Amino acid sequence: MKDHQPVSKWGTKADSGCSGSPQARVRRIAVVDDHALVRDGVGKLIDRHPGWTLCGEGRTGKDAIAIHERERPDVIILDFAMPDGNGLEATRAIVAKDPEARIIMITGYDPESVAREATRAGVKGLILKTDAGQVLEQAIETVLAGGSYFSSSPGGLAAGFAEIGLERKGANSLSSREKEIIGLIGDGLTSKEIGGMLGISARTVETHRANIMRKLNMRSVV
């Protein structure tokens, strides 16, 4: 049996290189997942977008590392669980060599337990396999723009909000109240529940949440 080799797959879009303005450049995206159906689905989503092209496919963590070294994609879509370990190990290896690497992790596991580990490893986004394709598209767009994206479905990824928030550039600009609210979001509380605990309205909590995301350059559907 031949060893599996990561595949480099280029679309037919005119310019997948780095020439021209950043706005006009086609963004190169790789997907690494051991399930062919997932790879095919993500590949079709990428192919439908006029500004994106699929530059590599793989099924293992080793594939992810090899694709990153060879192709330097703008974004890597990486599965959490793979045959040779988990995506966290591959993420750490990639980020150690390229701290600017943009990795979006997809998972079918308990989101709260994955979120904390994933944010520490250096992922820029985390979504569930049960999320709609629109969520992945939003995540890619947000990460390409320099932000972070964490899905809230079914609500457990709020834990990752607190974990990444206080470690990000801009965290020093947060007020003590905003840091307090981040901690409560990480505990999974709703805006109404947080407001009740702090003696403020749910609307005021929502305003604080918006300010937190702006200061940390984050986007979340929490």
On whether both 147 and 38 belong to a single domain, the answer is: yes
| Rounded alpha-carbon distances, angstroms, from residue 187 to 1, 17, 131, 218 | 48, 44, 22, 19
CA distance linking residue 153 with residue 199, whole number of Å: 27
Of residues 185 and 102, which shows the higher confidence score? 102
Question: Residue 148 belongs to a domain with what CATH number?
Answer: 3.40.50.2300
Does residue 93 form part of some domain? yes
CA 88-84-75 angle, 5° bins: 45
Residue 193 has pLDDT above 80, yes or no: yes
Q: Could you say which of 126, 153, 180 is where a domain stops?
A: 153
Give pLDDT, residue 21: 43
On whether both 109 and 137 belong to a single domain, the answer is: yes
Does residue 2 form part of some domain? no
Number of domains in the chain: 2
Return the closest-CA partner of residue 125 out of 135, 114, 139, 112: 139
CA 45-46-51 angle, 5° bins: 130
On whether both 216 and 189 belong to a single domain, the answer is: yes
Other C-beta atoms closer than 10 Å to the C-beta of 59 total 22
| Rounded alpha-carbon distances, angstroms, from residue 118 to 128, 178, 198 | 13, 23, 30
Cβ atoms of 80 and 33 within 8 Å: the answer is no
On whether both 35 and 139 belong to a single domain, the answer is: yes
Give pLDDT, residue 13: 46
Average pLDDT score over the chain: 79
Residue 20 has pLDDT above 80, yes or no: no
Question: Residue 177 belongs to a domain with what CATH number?
Answer: 1.10.10.10
Per-residue pLDDT reduced to its tens digit, 78-122: 999 888 888 999 999 999 999 999 999 998 876 666 777 888 889
Range of the domain at 63: 27-153
Cβ atoms of 221 and 136 within 8 Å: the answer is no
Q: Which residues fall within 8 angstroms of residue 14, CB to CB, at 6 or more apart?
A: 26
Does residue 6 form part of some domain? no
Looking at the whole model, is its pTM more than 0.85?
Answer: no
Give pLDDT, residue 83: 85
With tokens 């006029």, the residue in question is: 50
Per-residue pLDDT reduced to its tens digit, 130-172: 888 888 998 999 999 988 887 765 444 454 555 555 555 556 6
Give pLDDT, residue 10: 38
On whether both 146 and 171 belong to a single domain, the answer is: no
On whether both 178 and 68 belong to a single domain, the answer is: no
Give pLDDT, residue 134: 87
Give pLDDT, residue 164: 53
Give pLDDT, residue 171: 63
